Every structure is written in C-alpha cells, then in structure tokens.
Structure 1
Amino acid sequence: MEEKMFTPGGMERLQATSDRENIPYPRGDGKVKLVNSEWLDRHLTDTNLTVIDVQPNIHDYIQEHVPGAVYLTEGVLRVSNRGFPGSYSPNACIQESFRRAGITADSPVVVYTGKGAFSGAGDGLGQTMMAYTLAKYGHNAVYILDGGIDAWKSEGRELSQDYPPVEPSDFTVEVRDDYPIGYEEFVRIKDNDDVVVLDARPAKVYEGKGPWRKAGHIPGAVNLPWKSLMHEANPARLKSNDELDMILEEHGVDRSKTVICSCGTGREATNEFVLLKWLYLYPNVRIYEGSFTEWVTYPDNPVVEGSDPRGARVETASAR
C-alpha cells in the first residue's frame, strides 16, 4: 500500500509538510524561505531585518503598512528593452532600487503584498515576483510573508502610517544566471522526456482567451494555474502542503525531471518557481522569463489552443 502512495518525490513532499511547521521554512540555506505573521511580529524590531512592502499602489502603503516597512514597487523591476515589454531593468537600476530601500545581501528581508486597502487591487503575485528578483540579483536571505498583509491584518496585528528612516545600503548586484532559461536553450530542451514545462496562467488564457497575437499555449506546456496553489480568499497564502502535494502529483510535476516554469510574461511563473525550487527543494527548476510573450514574437513558432498540452484532443476532433 505504501508503494502505491508514494509516486516520485512524494516522500520528499511529505517531509516538507512537517518541515513547514518550522518557520522560517524550509530549513537549510536556501535563498528564499516562508515565514508567518507570528514570526514577523516577534522579529519586527531586529536591527538587521528589512521589511519590504510591495502592495500594488503607493497609496495602499500610505494608508497602511506593517510597522517599519519600506515601500518598493515591483514596477521598478522590469522595463521595455528594444521594444520588448517584459525585460528586467538594467542591473544598475535594480541595484540602485535595492540600495535606496536599505537592502543588504546577507541580512534578512521580508517581502509582502496584499489586496490594497486604498486601491482594491492586488493579485498576490507581487511578493513572489520581488522575492525571485531579490534572489536572482544576489540576495541571500529572502523571506516571504505567507498570506501577506491581509493575513497580518486578519490577526489584528499593528499597522502604521509612519515612513521609516532608511540609510541607503551598498547592495551590489550579482546575477544568478542559473535561475532563468533563455529562449534558445528553452527551444532546445523543452520537448525532452526529462523536462516538464508548466504554464501558470489561468485555464481560459492557456486555452486561447489571452491578449497575445496568437491564442493558446506553447506546445507541450502543462497548465498549472498559479492560483490553484493558493487559498481562494487570499491569493498571497499558499494552500496546505497536503493540498499542494496532490496538485503537483495530478499534474505530473516530477522532481526527477527538469521543471521549467512559464506563463505570459514571467511574473506568474515566479509563484511556481519559488514553490518548487525553494520551498519543495526540487533539484532542477528553471524559469522561462520571456514566456508566451517572447514565444509568439517568432512568427514560425506554433501554438496550441484548448486544454490539451499538445493539442491531441483538438486534432482528434478535427479528424472526425
């Protein structure tokens, strides 16, 4: 009976279930970990801790934020490059942004977002986007607040309207090039038997309802909507490990394979990259930052509409 229960990676994920009770989670020296509101409240006055507010609108931060938090919009992370709309900002820009926020590479930084109290906006992705970018550009101790500011508020914890005094840091960008996968390498390996490509977009977009010049998804990409991994009432809070384990099993996300996380512009994919690489400790995880937006800039690249990764159901229906 036990042999049937554990598909490849099942034992490791069950271990993660118990480890998640130990905050910061997971144990070890990974660049990104998960913390809860209770932990942050206890450590809020630590002199080496920086808290970064990534709420969707500056007015959300002005209205309310975790005491001592510095506002850093995720909008500084990407700019247009030769017309392509989703490129990361130049290293110097990212470096200066992190310096102004007082971030140092080896001191813990907690990132959070939420449903903006002023704007009403916010999808929960700001904190994984910021966490991934911090780690990619050289930070070594990034903490994500599970549930974001909405979890903090729901527990009746203190909020502030004060702006903390911040001394600029000497943060120096050191890019970790092994996290992203570029277009040419992606094309070369995406169809290999030992590779799983995930598409984190909503099912209707994956199937063909998106804004791109071509509808659908990259052939072979398996749809794993990022929101399916999060609590319905709070998209900044991960579901339980038991639920996550079941979802990953159902989608064939095998830890023995190379997993490539993709989406529309590379933002939604950060949610699944963070989960698999740092929280579930999958050994081979990459993120295709260009994602579907880059894929369809090449006119000859095929796309698939519908729910099947390779369009087999569509082709069968046509043959009939």
Structure 2
Amino acid sequence: MAERTKWLVDTEWLEANLDNPDVVILDGSWYLPQLQRDPKAEFARAHIPGAMFFDIDEIADLSTDLPHMLPSPELFSTELSKMGMSNGQTVVVYDGVGIGSAPRLWWTFQVMGIKDVYILDGGLPKWKAEKRPVTDVIQTRAPGHFTAKLDHQAVRNFDDMLEAIKDDGVEIVDARSTERWRGIGPEPRPNLSSGRMPGSKNVPFQDLVDDNGQIKDVDFLKQRFVAAGVDLSKPIITSCGSGSTAAILFLALDTIGQKQLSLYDGSWTEWASREGSIIEKD
C-alpha cells in the first residue's frame, strides 16, 4: 500500500474509540457561502456519536473582518476548556467532504502546540458510506482545562508576505484554482480581484485529494509540488482564498517531510484587499 500521511486515523479505529474519554472528536466543517451548505444544521441532523461542532468562524479573531482568522492562544484555551477539552487528550477532526476544512482545524491545533491531533481519513462521507453510526444527540462535556501556546513560526501575516515576495529563498504556494491564481477567473468573494502574489507557485488543493475525499499518497504529493516548480529545499509558505485550503497544502507538505512550513493566515482575501500589495495577472 502506498505511504500516506501519519496524521490520519481510519474509520475502524475511531469507531472502536467512540467511548474512549481521552479521545475528543470535532466536526470542523466549513463551506463557502455559494455552496449553500449550513454546517451547523448538518451537524445537528447527523454527526459521529460524541462529536462536538467546532465553528472556525466563531472561535477566531473577531477583531478583524477577515474570515476565520487564527484566535489568540488565550481565546482558544478558554473556548476549548468550555467545550470540556483538556491537554493530553487525542483530538480527531473531520468535515463533511473528506478533506476540506478539517486540515484547517488540524493546523490550528498544531499551531497552538497540540501535536496529538489527527484527521479522520475520508471524513464523514466515508464514515457514512461504511454505514457507521451517526446521531443527532449533541454531546456535552464537563469543563476541562486546556492551555495553548502559539507557534509563531507557523503563521505568516501581511507584513511577513511583503517581505516574502522579495525573498528568493522562500517559496509561496497557492492552493486556489489555476484560473483564480492566473487572474483569469473570478474570486468567490465579491469585489475581490483575482491574481497572484509575485513569485508564487500554484498547486490547487483539489489536485491533492482523491474523488473519495482522501488525501493522495506521499509519492504523488511530492511529484505534484515538484511539477509546479516548488523548490522543496526552501522554506514554504502556503496560501489560498481565506486560509482554509492552504492547510491542505500544509498537511501535504508536512506529509512529504517538509520541515520549514508556515501558512499565510489572511491569504488572498487579505492580500487582494490591502494597500501596498502587488497583484500579478496573466
């Protein structure tokens, strides 16, 4: 069997651990508005037993109008403690498409210093296809004690990116569609120009995921980045539309052994709306 990322747990393992108090299951589903999917409503109708819903737009930095920006460690710690989470637990995250927004939640935990966090292989679609149990019962836990510590090296902001576009020793890799990256297709957010950051490379996140919602094997991932002209010997910053699917690239690059990795949290939504940014188009 082809080698795949170490950050996956399979559906069989999760079903066997549904009653394990040291395993916390989180539904991190999030969708672009034009998909007209309500992740909270879908969760309320059917979710993996014991799972809790993690709203990446609510447990976020709400002082900005940018979507689901990384929360402060203090806010993250407070909210997770309220949910009944404590340090030392194993966290399993999933979403409603397989590999969609779950990697963003996985990345968030990684950035907050929690390494014992995994993604459900195939997510909810695979779980349901295998006729595994779902429920509409909302799980509640007694308050826990969770403490986060932010890894500043894994996050990049606008000022960092202004420097990065001038640095030949850094790679910027964009997860958006090739049409949006080239500037010949529209952005899903109104009044936002498409295009790219100078020097960035393009690896659409869809290329890294199978039709069944599972991330592809290590050899394919490496070949795909190399084919896009990414120099894997350099530090890499991943970006996308709003910082969500950039985490799929982050996961894929981690899978192939890339150590110097960070993610541009504001991503294209911030870059294309800020004065001082440079936008290239074909």
Place the TM-score, normalised by the shorter chain, in its bin. 0.7 to 0.9
What secondary structure is seen at the aligned counterpart in 2 of 1:144? strand
- The 1:186–1:155 alpha-carbon spacing in structure 2 relative to 1, beyond 3 Å, is same
The answer for the alignment partner of 2:81 in structure 1 is 99
Q: Does the Cα contact within 8 Å between 1:50 and 1:102 map onto a contact in 2?
A: no
TM-score by length of 2: 0.86
Question: Gaps (5+ residues) in structure 1?
Answer: 1-15, 27-32, 116-122, 307-320
TM-score by length of 1: 0.76
The answer for the alignment partner of 2:248 in structure 1 is 271
Does 1:58 find its partner at 2:34?
A: no
Q: Does the Cα contact within 8 Å between 1:91 and 1:173 map onto a contact in 2?
A: yes
Q: Does the Cα contact within 8 Å between 2:48 and 2:134 map onto a contact in 1?
A: yes
Segment drifting more, 210-219 vs 268-277: 210-219
Aligned AA for 1:52?
Answer: L
The answer for the alignment partner of 2:36 in structure 1 is none
- What is the Cα-based RMSD across aligned positions, in Å? 2.3
Distance of 2:171 and 2:64 partners within structure 1: 30
Does 1:302 find its partner at 2:278?
A: yes
The answer for the alignment partner of 1:222 in structure 2 is 201
What secondary structure is seen at the aligned counterpart in 2 of 1:76? coil
The answer for the alignment partner of 2:262 in structure 1 is 286
Aligned AA for 1:232?
Answer: D
The answer for the alignment partner of 1:314 in structure 2 is none
What secondary structure is seen at the aligned counterpart in 2 of 1:158? coil
1:223-261 residue CA offsets vs partner (Å, 9 max, x unmatched) = 111111111243xx2123343232122123333111110
Q: Please list every run of at least 4 consecutive aligned residues from structure 1 whose deviation after the TM superposition is greater than 4 angstroms.
A: 82-86
Percent of aligned pairs with the same residue?
Answer: 26
The answer for the alignment partner of 2:33 in structure 1 is none
Aligned AA for 1:102?
Answer: G
Question: Gaps (5+ residues) in structure 2?
Answer: 31-38
The answer for the alignment partner of 2:90 in structure 1 is 108
Distance of 1:85 and 1:55 partners within structure 2: 14
The answer for the alignment partner of 1:185 in structure 2 is 160
Distance of 2:236 and 2:45 partners within structure 1: 40
Distance of 2:138 and 2:272 partners within structure 1: 43
Offset at 1:281? 2.5
Distance of 1:76 and 1:82 partners within structure 2: 12
- The 1:146–1:195 alpha-carbon spacing in structure 2 relative to 1, beyond 3 Å, is same
Q: Does the Cα contact within 8 Å between 2:57 and 2:67 map onto a contact in 1?
A: no
